[in-house]
Amino acid sequence: MKIKKIHKKLLLVLLIPLGYLLLHLSSFSPHLTENIYSKGLYKALTIPLNLLFGYIPISVAEIVLISTVLILLFLIVRTIIRIIKSPSEKWSILGRAISNIVAASSILYLSFILLWGFNYQRLPFKDIAGYDTKPSDVSELKLVCIALIQRTNELRELVDEDSEGIMKLSTDINNTLKRAHKGYKNIEAEYPELTYKFGRPKGVLLSEVMSYLGIGGVYFPFTTEANVNTSLPDKSLPFTACHEMAHQIGFSREDEANYIAYLACKSHPDPDFQYSGTLSALIYATNALYQYSPEDYFELRESFSAGVARDIKASNNYWEKYETQLQDLSSSINDAYLKANMQNDGVRSYGRMVDLLIAEYLKRSIK
């Protein structure tokens, strides 16, 4: 009887190839995925979950993840104790444990695909926005960088500073997260797909752990929560919050979430959000310029205002404190995760944000 139960549980492993097959099939027709899933089924699934979890002031996702780790540790210890007490039944005990893990993992994977994963195969945001992301030459990239530098320098004069001359938010972190939706409110008329109807992003208590993992934020589809690392430098926090909110709306691709966060930040009524988004876009653009034309990069770096330069240096110093092998492992896992969801560029897909910046500049110029 126990063997039959194990076999039944192991049959659930078929949910993994089923989920991947559905994900693969959805990639053949982004238009269908956009209209049937992203604009339809995704919203129908997330609305009740958001009503249940989205407006709870603390991160339910964090509680779930911590509880899951503790439960797994308990189950591992219990399994070891049972094997020690009944060594003659070790294979039966181990088989039940493995079957339980396989069954739970399979159900979680298919649930992930249904709750969010199909969004990886929706229409590219460039098509939604009407942008032409044709290959661009370095001169066009340089023009984008110049425009972003000018705007970033202007905005830097409008934000507050701490005693060390580093940018600081105009409100505390909790109120900053509460304000994040205002940028999306200002762009939903132009981009109805970016209408934001979710609970606000939430700070994570174990933010220091996220920094050691090199993580700025996490979207948790099982509770529809946008979770933010609140230990980040102030200049990064508004952009990161808007990035995770883009995931909430249903844009899974990291590079597109970055660009959408930039759009939301630069359209926000408050200068600290505008500055955070524009500075983040500037960093992506100038990093790309450095790859193709180091001479132009170093020339333009000289035009960064003193305040902008201080903020970038402070941010680099912040992340240097957390550079460990654990962060490298986290990056490798994230790379594997992206590829598993058919984002073949892996972590390098973040660089495609620059194509959207250039396309926007060529279409209407950066404002």
Render pLDDT for 187-198 as a digit per residue (tens, 0 to 9).
999 999 999 999
Collect all residues with Cβ–Cβ distance below 8 Å to 67 and sequence separation of at least 6.
none
Place of tokens 């709870």: 56
**Closest among 150, 159, 160, 181 to 300, alpha carbons compared:** 150
User: Quick one: CA torsion of 301, 303, 309, 313, rounded to 10 degrees?
Assistant: 10
Q: What is the DSSP track for 101-150?
A: HHHHHHHHHHHHHHHTGGGGGS--HHHHHT-------HHHHHHHHHHHHH
Distance CA 364, CA 346 (A): 30
Measure the CA angle with vertex 269, ends 173 and 283; round to 5°: 70
- Range list of H helices, 213-293: 237-249, 254-266, 271-292
In the structure encoding, which two tokens stand for residue 54, read together?
A: 């989205």
In the structure encoding, which two tokens stand for residue 108, read together?
A: 């979680």
Instruction: Please give the model's pTM, rounded to 2 decimal places.
Output: 0.89
Task: Give pLDDT, residue 319.
Answer: 92
In this structure, what are the phi and psi dihedrals at residue 357, rounded to the nearest 5 degrees?
-60, -45
DSSP three-state, residue 250: coil
Total H helices, total E strands in the chain: 18, 5
Distance CA 302, CA 9 (A): 62
Place of tokens 């097959």: 21
> How far from 266 is each of 60, 155, 234, 238, 289, CA to CA, in Å?
30, 10, 16, 11, 22
Strands 202-203 vs 217-220: parallel, antiparallel or unpaired? unpaired
**Closest among 51, 31, 37, 52 to 115, alpha carbons compared:** 37
Low-confidence ranges of the chain (pLDDT < 50): 1, 345-350, 367
Q: Strands across the sheet with 225-228, in order?
A: 202-203, 225-228, 217-220
